[in-house]
Amino acid sequence: MIGVGERMLELSNERAVMFPKERITKGDLVDYYLEVAAVMLPHLENRPLTVERFTKGIGARGFIQKNASEHYPEWIRRSEVPSRARAGEASNHVVCDEAATLVFLANQRCVTYHITPVQCDRLELPDRLIFDFDPPDAGESSFAAVRVGALAVGELLRECGLTPFVKTSGSKGLHVVAPLDRSAHIDEVRAFGKIASELLARRDPDRFTVSMAKSERAGRVFLDYLRNGYAQTVVAPYSVRPLPGAPVSTPLTWEELEEPTLHAQTYTLRNVRERLRERRDPWAGMDAHAGSLDDASLNLDAILAKA
DNA sequence: GTCGGAG
DNA sequence: CTCCGACAACGCATC
DNA sequence: GATGCG
């Protein structure tokens, strides 16, 4: 029984192994999320959460859970997300805005947290524009291309009047995110992401593609602009990934992105906390930089007209 | 990890 | 009682 | 129309 904020939590089976190779236990996972809660929560607050659970460790098949389980305590906040496809249906997501929820879920063997680019009260007005750079493999040359792409899209977003932020995905690539002021509809945001991604692919077709077709990709970095859609999700900042080494999706400064030794799995459950002791969260306060997508679209049109 | 239904 | 399955689903592309 | 993929 531990106290987390206002809540008392019963932890169970803390010695159970979650990451066999590294002997990382469920207790280690709980400790990790407890310790990063202060920096992580601002990125989860008021967003429908989707969770990836591994009840027998990451070596066994896990599952994705979008609806809050019936037996979760009543103090865990829930939020309805209506299905766009089927009228009348909705999922009932957990909303994680206190440390106790994060710790409770970790004890439930939730390893990875996925969030939407929208908040619960405005499900069709995104406050995040997302670019997901997914390389064909985890090799060094692939990551070099991912880095070039992130820098290029960052520059493009600045030219459009937005303020981009970057993080490792913890898997193979990088995520670039720009905060929005929620004045534009999700379909407009998606259209912007598509056009900007296509521009990037057109400027450097040897490195980038927006084609979903596997045959068309041929070793190039895939720009997944569909991340900006209704009920789409992205891995949350400081979330652990269910991969060997327990890599963590970690916010970076743009200067850090230039470091030649950096890769998508540089930061892990083992070393992120030390990093956070030395520097503040590079994404802290990102909402103060929220920009207008309509303004950005006009600027992007001007850039396209010149090109 | 936990529930609920099947056996 | 124990055993076992469920715990997601957008939008595009290909077969 | 069903299946596959991120």
Nucleotide whose C1' lies closest to the alpha carbon of residue A69: C7
A126-172 pLDDT per residue, tens: 999 999 999 988 888 899 999 999 999 999 999 999 999 999 999 99
Taking the CA of residue A293 and the C1' sugar atom of nucleotide D2, their distance in angstroms comes to 37
pTM of the predicted protein model = 0.96
Chain B, protein-covered positions (CB within 7 A): 1-4
pLDDT of residue A212: 83
Q: What percent of chain A has pLDDT over 70?
A: 100
Q: Which residue is nearest to nucleotide C6 (CA to C1')?
A: A63
Proximity of residue A222 CB to strand D below 7 A = yes
Taking the CA of residue A135 and the C1' sugar atom of nucleotide D4, their distance in angstroms comes to 19
Taking the CA of residue A167 and the C1' sugar atom of nucleotide C13, their distance in angstroms comes to 29
Least confident of A72-81, A95-104, A133-142: A133-142
All protein residues with a CB under 7 A from any atom of strand C: A 50, 55, 63-67, 69, 83-86, 91, 211-213, 215-216, 226, 229-232
Region of A165 please: left (phi>0), alpha (psi -120 to 50) or beta.
Answer: beta
A237-266 pLDDT per residue, tens: 999 999 999 999 999 999 999 999 999 999
Chain D, protein-covered positions (CB within 7 A): 4-6
How sure is the predictor about A86, in pLDDT bands with cuts at 50, 70 and 90? confident
Answer whether residue A215 shows pLDDT above 80: no
Proximity of residue A224 CB to strand D below 7 A = yes
pLDDT of residue A31: 98
Three state DSSP letters for chain A? CEEECCEEECCCCCCCEEECCCCEEHHHHHHHHHHHHHHHHHHHCCCEEEEEECCCCCCCCCEEECCCCCCCCCCCEEEEEECCCCCCCEEEEEECCCHHHHHHHHHCCEEEEEECCCECCECCCCCEEEEEEECCCCCHHHHHHHHHHHHHHHHHHHHCCCCCEEEECCCCCEEEEEEECCCCCHHHHHHHHHHHHHHHHHHCCCCEECCCCHHHHCCCEEECHHHCCCCCCEECCCCECCCCCCEECCEECCCHHHCCCCCCCCCECCCHHHHHHHCCCCCCCHHHHCECHHHHHHHHHHHHHHC
A15-28 pLDDT per residue, tens: 999 999 999 999 99
Nucleotide whose C1' lies closest to the alpha carbon of residue A68: C7
Higher pLDDT, A215 or A88: A88
The mean pLDDT value of chain A amounts to 95
Higher pLDDT, A88 or A250: A250
Nucleotide whose C1' lies closest to the alpha carbon of residue A214: D5
Answer whether residue A214 shows pLDDT above 80: no
pLDDT of residue A220: 92
pLDDT of residue A219: 85
Answer whether residue A292 shows pLDDT above 80: yes
Taking the CA of residue A111 and the C1' sugar atom of nucleotide C7, their distance in angstroms comes to 15
Answer whether residue A192 shows pLDDT above 90: yes
